[in-house]
């Protein structure tokens, strides 16, 4: 019989509340014969204050035993900025080789967008997740003086670029419109830009049915607002991807519905699924958080593990729920319950 061995990291703030709804929906959608085993981990601010630890080698060894990880949100104002980001989130992405950071943007019916009209938005960003300026390469000299010099080196390897570009081409090929845009800044970042463009063009030859385009990242921010319907799949580096996916979330319904997957496509390590939003300490514990982004992250998790029909049912339930929402204000729990009923029915 089939089974899913899931590591659950609720984390801080609203992470606790939204993850509970994600699990509720996951339990409701899985067929009877699939055995779901979960193990909860207490990473985040509380653990950091209690032990000074963010994520140890022993933690990584333990997490590695699972098929996938569901994460709520990590972060709290009581922890200095950067400590949990680097010590937990980025550490995990790098340790588990999450080189595909998948961030779909779909404007669902009934969801407000700040854009004029009601554009058709349905694209997915494949953000590189283990290289670029996120590698922590760089340094500073004469720190704190008027002559300080700080460098932050973007690392791009042929291996790392090719595997993410290949993944993006395959995803584009599997979608009806079969379009792929490379977003970079190759007019200025000449070395990395050359590598990305070269690899992109080389791999493109193997996917003749995929229509490609290149766009500078600054121009892309304009088109994401003025013509978001033009995008199908986007592939880009770690930092550009970080920035444009926040913009993408803003135009396609906000962070309340933005889901993401930190994926190791070969499944050498467990992939991690998380809402794009943070821990929102200002509304934590009040039942106000929208669990939709977490539930949509559960759909990505299901698809990654090969449960395509179940993933589709979750997305369908979210779409119907959003369409029927109107102006009703519901609690985190009520939204989770409604979605659980819909996926089961």
Q: What does 90 interact with, of ligand IPM, Mn ion, none (CB < 5 to 8 A by kind)?
A: ligand IPM
* Given 76, 134, 232, 307, the catalytic residue: 134
214 is catalytic: no
242 is catalytic: yes
Between 85 and 333, name the residue whose CB sits nearer to ligand IPM.
85
Tell me how far apart the alpha carbons of residues 319 and 304 are, in angstroms, rounded to a whole number.
Answer: 20
Under the binding rule (CB under 5 A), the answer on residue 242 touching Mn ion is yes
Burial class for 148, CB neighbours closer than 10 Å (0-12, 13-18, 19+): exposed
CB of 101 to ligand IPM, least distance (A): 7
185 is catalytic: yes
Residue 241 host element (H or E): helix 238-251
Residues of span 37-96 touching ligand IPM by CB under 6 A: 85, 89-90
Residues 6+ apart with CB under 8 A from 161: 128, 131, 195, 196, 199
Contact 274, 71 (CB under 8 A): yes
Contact 22, 81 (CB under 8 A): no
Between 130 and 332, name the residue whose CB sits nearer to ligand IPM.
130
The secondary structure of residue 34, as a DSSP letter, is P
> Which residue numbers belong to the known binding site for substrate?
93, 103, 127, 218
97 is catalytic: no
As a 3-state breakdown, the chain gives helix, strand, coil percent values, each rounded to 5, of: 45, 25, 35
Residues of span 96-115 touching Mn ion by CB under 5 A: none
CB of 183 to ligand IPM, least distance (A): 16
Angle separating helix axes 308-325 and 292-304, nearest 10 degrees: 160
CB of 101 to Mn ion, least distance (A): 10
Number of helices and strands in the chain (H, E): 12, 12
> Which residue numbers belong to the known binding site?
93, 103, 127, 218, 242, 246, 278-290
> Which residue numbers belong to the known binding site for Mg(2+)?
218, 242, 246
Sketch the per residue contact string, 145 through 174, with ligand IPM: x for CB under 6 A, - otherwise: ------------------------------
CB atoms within 10 A of CB 211: 14
Between 130 and 292, name the residue whose CB sits nearer to ligand IPM.
130
* Given 59, 76, 185, 321, the catalytic residue: 185
The residue among 345, 338, 270, 277 whose CA lies nearest residue 304 is: 270
CB of 82 to ligand IPM, least distance (A): 8
308 is catalytic: no
Contact set with ligand IPM (CB under 6 A): 85, 89-90, 242
Contact set with Mn ion (CB under 5 A): 242
Residues with catalytic function? 134, 185, 218, 242, 246
């Amino acid at each position: 019989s089939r089974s899913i061995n899931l590591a659950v990291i609720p984390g801080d703030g609203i992470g606790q509340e939204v993850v509970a709804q994600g699990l509720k929906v996951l339990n409701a959608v899985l067929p009877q014969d699939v055995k779901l085993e979960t193990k909860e981990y207490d990473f985040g601010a509380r653990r950091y204050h209690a032990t000074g630890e963010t994520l140890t080698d022993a933690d990584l060894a333990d997490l590695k035993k699972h098929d996938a990880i569901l994460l709520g949100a990590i972060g709290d104002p009581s922890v200095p900025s950067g400590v949990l980001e680097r010590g937990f989130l980025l550490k995990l992405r790098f340790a588990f080789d999450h080189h595909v950071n998948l961030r779909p943007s779909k404007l669902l019916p009934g969801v407000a967008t700040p854009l004029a009209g009601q554009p058709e938005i349905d694209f997915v960003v494949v953000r590189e997740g283990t290289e670029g300026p996120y590698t922590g390469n760089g340094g500073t000299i004469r720190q704190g003086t008027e002559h300080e010099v700080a460098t932050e080196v973007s690392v791009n390897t042929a291996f790392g670029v090719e595997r993410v570009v290949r993944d993006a081409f395959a995803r584009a090929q599997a979608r009806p419109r079969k379009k792929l845009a490379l977003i970079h800044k190759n007019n200025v970042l000449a070395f990395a830009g050359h590598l990305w463009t070269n690899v992109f063009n080389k791999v493109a030859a193997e996917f003749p049915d995929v229509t490609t385009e290149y766009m500078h990242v600054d121009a892309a921010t304009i088109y994401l607002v003025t013509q978001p319907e033009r995008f199908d799949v986007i592939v880009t580096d770690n930092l550009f991807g970080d920035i444009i996916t926040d913009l993408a979330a803003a135009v396609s319904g906000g962070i309340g519905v933005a889901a993401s997957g930190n994926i190791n496509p070969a499944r050498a390590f467990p992939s991690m699924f998380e809402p794009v939003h943070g821990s929102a300490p200002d509304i934590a514990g009040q039942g106000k958080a929208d669990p939709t982004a977490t539930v949509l992250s559960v759909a990505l998790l299901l698809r990654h593990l090969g449960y395509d029909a179940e993933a589709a049912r979750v997305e369908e339930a979210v779409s119907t729920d959003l369409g029927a929402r109107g102006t009703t204000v519901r609690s985190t729990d009520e939204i989770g319950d409604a979605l659980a009923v819909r996926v089961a029915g």
